[in-house]
Amino acid sequence: MAPSFGRSISFPLSPARSFKPRAAACHVRSISLPCRSHPLLAHLQTQIAAVRSWATSPTAPSSGLAHIDALHAVLAELLVLPEVQDAVCGATPASDRLLDAYILLADAHRGFQETLLALKRDVADVRAALRRRDAARLASAARSQRRNEKELARHAAAVSSGTVAKCARLGLGGATAEETEIAVALMEAAAASAAASATVFSAAASMSAAASSSKTTAAFAAFAKKAAPETTEVVPEKLVELEKCIDECESGSEMVFRSIVRTRVSLLNIRTPAI
């Protein structure tokens, strides 16, 4: 049974603290979070709310990945605490489902990275075809790009429905109130990560589709009319935006992938401690 918690606890600032001026950091060392029960979870709930807020009103995909990474940074801090480890051990069926949910998240982000690499190659082929005014190569690259857009949509659907299903079947029978509250918070973190991940994947697919639609329409029209090369000069600008998004998502998704793997490894180590 997990021990009772005190009335308050001091947390270090969130991962976003690294962006604050150094002088400010010297004056503000911690945040006191009073809470009636489980004050250790207050900081986690704040990060979960931030991730959910982004997924509801998304901005750049890279921003969503940063929010997910920050959430898992808080999880890493929580999972080393004895109280949380006792709760995870006490809610065995729940932690089993969480292990499954987090590996599903990791697989989704690994698949996302692989699709981004393929999409990056497609964009490079498109730009080369436009530069050389090669209609056949452009058509081939456009078909491949559409396939990868569908793959991104598939990743979004899989991570959303799959993680929700895992967390919805959490078994908490026999767990104490403290263990239940911690297990539910960990479940909410997984569900929020899945929702934001699905939004990131869908946003990347939408950006690709928009660039693909505009470039093929303009390029084929230019080819058909035998227009001068200058006719298609506006097209690469949209492709540059897509390439920038892909580059940002590549680095961001790698960080998220590593964070999710660390979370799962921490849960697994808690469940099967070294003898």
Q: CA-to-CA distance for 119 and 125, rounded, in angstroms?
A: 10
* Contact between residue 109 and residue 194 where contact means Cβ atoms under 8 Å apart: no
127 in any annotated domain: yes
Please give the residue range of the domain that contains residue 64: 43-50+60-271
175 in any annotated domain: yes
> 223-240: per-residue pLDDT in tens?
544 544 444 444 557 788
Q: CA-to-CA distance for 152 and 119, rounded, in angstroms?
A: 10
231 in any annotated domain: yes
20 in any annotated domain: no
Instruction: Please tell me the predicted confidence (pLDDT) of residue 114.
Output: 95
Q: CA-to-CA distance for 179 and 183, rounded, in angstroms?
A: 6
DSSP string, 198-251: HHHHHHHHHHHHHHHHHHHHHHHHHHHHT--GGGGTTHHHHHHHHHHHHHHHHH
55 in any annotated domain: no
> 101-127: per-residue pLDDT in tens?
888 999 999 999 999 999 999 998 988
What is the total count of domains within the chain? 1
Provide the pLDDT confidence category of residue 13 given band limits of 50, 70 and 90: very low
This prediction has a pTM of 0.76
**Residue found under tokens 């099967």:** 272
Q: CA-to-CA distance for 4 and 189, rounded, in angstroms?
A: 22
> 62-81: per-residue pLDDT in tens?
999 999 999 999 999 899 88
Q: CA-to-CA distance for 103 and 261, rounded, in angstroms?
A: 7
Closest CA to 234 of 251, 213, 219, 249: 219
Which tokens in the block code for residue 75?
A: 């999880």
Of the two residues 19 and 121, the one the predictor is more confident about is 121
12 in any annotated domain: no
Instruction: Please tell me the predicted confidence (pLDDT) of residue 117.
Output: 95
34 in any annotated domain: no
Provide the pLDDT confidence category of residue 271 given band limits of 50, 70 and 90: confident
Strand partners, 173: none
21 in any annotated domain: no
